[in-house]
């Protein structure tokens, strides 16, 4: 039986990052992974979707090349198989990078499904592994709700989850997406850009986690781009690739050539069921140190259900290791950004206006449209806006919300502003390079203070 200081179950962005940091800090570390290193993020989530989205963006740019003074003789065609090969290449390259990093740092990697027998013992294919501390990083799987016909539709391949949509044999002509959360809407952007007729059925409101102004803006924009959106759709049943939903009291049928079911994700807790850990809505309950109801056993990433994001999983991995090694790391979830890779992109950090008000803040709001930014016009990307939510008294930045072609990169400035507890005056006074998209953040800060430069008076 091998004995380690730290055993980590699951090698996604939570587990592998924790393993490298543990080894860097001198802990004998073992990482147990049943599938591919990098987890859902690298193999079936963040990276493959963004790689395909890049192909879709290039396709759209070529279709609109005349706008940039370039005419293309002949047809611009999609080669879906070649897009898939590119995606697989990017994933493969990153996979071997992760494997190399683990090796270089001296992490022992055990391939196989690990079952936890007790807080110090994991069994993998008959081999027992023993450790002083355990970090559970087993991630999550698509939620399959008990809707009539869904299981059969999935089994027959008439409906797929996100994993299946990444490897469609071809781009479907008609795609019905059930669930208009972040994952569902990223696929809506992907396939509508590649020419599919996309219909989204959402029980509440698509992209409902956004600040309300941005939600409305994005819904309008996606509809303008041809995505058919039905909010308030109550799914009654699946009949193969047909979805039957009740909308405003009317029963309607939506026929797809393919159906993507994107109804959220469930934490993977089966491998640790013997521990009898406390759960909360199906996720492993942890305290602010990421420690579970059993001392010495930690849970990070999707499995603890706090925020199902790759960078949250990694941050929690680093924090859990630091705590095991005697530190006292705590994560402030309000300061973690969230991004949506649609066209244009959406990114946010901190509080929405609605949440800030709910928490008792008197808020001041500043907005600035991308259409008034020189670089955005030069790039042919005038869609979007920035909205800053600040506390009225001292101007402390509470939240920043961006829709822009580059929103997912622009948000990092706002992340730093929140981390440093900056005021909107500091964002406004920081000189931004011209011409850049980043000026929109500074201009929104100026707008909040009542003196935006590049805005016409109404
Ligand atoms: P996972 O990545 O799920 O990894 C868990 C690993 O544990 C898996 O490799 C699994 O094989 C292994 N495992 C499970 N049980 C066992 C066991 N008993 N023994 C051994 N190994 C086990 N997040 C973002 O931040 N940005 C994005 O752009 C983004 N895009 C996404 C797109 C899609 C389509 C999806 C589905 C998700 C996306 N996410 C994104 C979410 C992100 O993928 C997850 O939040 C992240 O992967 C969670 O990391 P994790 O380490 O907790 O778990």
Q: Is 90 exceeded by the pLDDT of residue 458?
A: no
Point out the ligand 1 atom lying closest to the alpha carbon of residue 32.
20
| Token representation of residue 61 | 């740019």
383 CA distance to ligand 1 centroid (A)?
31
Q: Pick from 281, 340, 278: which is nearest to 306 by CA?
A: 281
Give residue-wise pLDDT tens across range 391-420: 999 999 999 999 999 999 999 999 999 999
Number of C-alpha atoms within 13 angstroms, CB side, residue 6? 32
Report the topology of domain 2-141+266-333. Answer: FAD/NAD(P)-binding domain (3.50.50)
Find out whether the beta carbon of 45 lies less than 6 Å from any atom of ligand 1.
Answer: yes
Residue nearest to atom 14 of ligand 1 (CA): 138
Give dist(CA 248, CA 120) in Å, integer. Answer: 54
Q: Is 70 exceeded by the pLDDT of residue 364?
A: yes
Domain extents in the chain:
2-141+266-333, 150-263, 344-448
Mean pLDDT, to the nearest integer, of 153-168? 97
Query: What is the pairing mode between strands 363-369 and 297-299?
Result: unpaired
pTM, 2 dp: 0.97
Point out the ligand 1 atom lying closest to the alpha carbon of residue 112.
20
Provide the Cα torsion 125, 126, 129, 130; round to 10°: 140
Q: Is 60 exceeded by the pLDDT of residue 1?
A: no
- pLDDT band of 3, cuts 50, 70, 90: confident
Q: Among 3.30.390.30, 1.20.1340.10, 3.20.20.140, 3.40.50.1980, what is the CATH number of 344-448?
A: 3.30.390.30
228 CA distance to ligand 1 centroid (A)?
29
Q: Pick from 319, 418, 428, 439: which is nearest to 374 by CA?
A: 439
Give yes or no: 311 in active site.
no
Point out the ligand 1 atom lying closest to the alpha carbon of residue 36.
9
Catalytic annotation, pick one of 434, 446, 451, 454: 434
Give residue-wise pLDDT tens across range 6-60: 999 999 999 999 999 999 999 999 999 999 999 999 999 999 999 999 999 999 9
| Helix residue spans in 161-211 (DSSP H) | 162-166, 182-193
**CATH class of this structure's domain 150-263:** alpha beta
Residue nearest to atom 11 of ligand 1 (CA): 35
12 CA distance to ligand 1 centroid (A)?
5
Q: Is 80 exceeded by the pLDDT of residue 91?
A: yes
192 CA distance to ligand 1 centroid (A)?
25
Q: Are 150-263 and 344-448 equal in CATH topology?
A: no
Point out the ligand 1 atom lying closest to the alpha carbon of residue 50.
28
Q: Is 60 exceeded by the pLDDT of residue 262?
A: yes
Q: Pick from 301, 263, 89, 300: which is nearest to 182 by CA?
A: 263
**Burial group, residue 174, by CB count within 10 angstroms (0-12, 13-18, 19+):** middle
Residue nearest to atom 33 of ligand 1 (CA): 45
């Amino acid at each position: 039986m091998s004995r380690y200081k730290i055993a980590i179950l699951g090698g996604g962005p939570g587990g592998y990052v924790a393993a490298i940091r543990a080894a860097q800090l001198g802990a004998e570390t073992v990482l147990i992974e049943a599938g591919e290193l990098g987890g859902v993020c690298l193999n079936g989530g963040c990276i493959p979707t963004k790689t395909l989205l890049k192909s879709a963006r290039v396709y759209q740019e070529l279709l609109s090349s005349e706008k940039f003074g370039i005419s293309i003789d002949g047809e611009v065609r999609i080669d879906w198989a070649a897009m898939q090969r590119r995606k697989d290449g990017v994933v493969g390259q990153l996979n071997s990078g992760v494997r190399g990093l683990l090796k270089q740092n001296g992490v022992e990697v055990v391939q196989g499904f690990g079952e936890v027998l007790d807080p110090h013992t994991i069994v993998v294919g008959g081999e027992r592994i023993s450790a002083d501390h355990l970090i559970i990083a087993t991630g999550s799987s698509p939620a399959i709700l008990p809707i009539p016909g869904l299981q059969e539709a999935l089994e027959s391949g008439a409906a797929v989850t996100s994993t299946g949509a990444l490897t469609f044999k071809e781009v479907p002509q008609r795609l019905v997406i059930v669930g208009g959360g972040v994952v569902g809407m990223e696929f809506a952007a992907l396939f509508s850009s590649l020419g599919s007729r996309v219909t989204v059925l959402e029980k509440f409101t698509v992209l409902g986690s956004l600040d309300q102004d941005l939600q409305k803006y994005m819904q309008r924009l996606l509809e303008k781009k041809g995505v058919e959106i039905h909010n308030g759709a109550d799914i009654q049943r699946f009949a193969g690739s047909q979805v039957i939903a009740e909308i405003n009291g009317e029963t309607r049928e939506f026929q797809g050539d393919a159906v993507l079911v994107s109804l959220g994700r469930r934490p993977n807790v089966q491998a640790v069921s013997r521990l009898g850990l406390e759960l909360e809505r199906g996720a492993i309950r942890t305290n602010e140190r990421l420690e579970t109801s059993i001392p010495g056993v930690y849970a990070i990433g999707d499995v603890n259900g706090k925020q199902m994001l790759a960078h949250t999983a990694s941050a929690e991995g680093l924090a859990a290791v630091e705590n095991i090694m005697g530190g006292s790391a705590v994560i402030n979830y309000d300061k973690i950004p969230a991004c949506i890779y649609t066209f244009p992109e959406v990114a946010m950090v901190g509080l929405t206006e609605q949440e800030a008000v709910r928490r008792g803040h008197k808020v001041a709001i500043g907005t600035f449209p991308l259409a008034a930014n020189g670089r955005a016009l030069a790039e042919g990307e005038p869609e979007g806006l920035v909205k800053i939510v600040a506390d009225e008294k001292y101007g402390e930045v509470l939240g920043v919300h961006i829709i822009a072609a580059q929103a997912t990169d622009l948000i990092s400035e706002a992340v730093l502003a929140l981390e440093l507890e900056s005021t909107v005056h500091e964002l406004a006074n920081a000189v931004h390079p011209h011409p850049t998209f980043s000026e929109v953040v500074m201009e929104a800060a100026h707008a909040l203070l009542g003196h935006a430069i590049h805005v016409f008076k109404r």
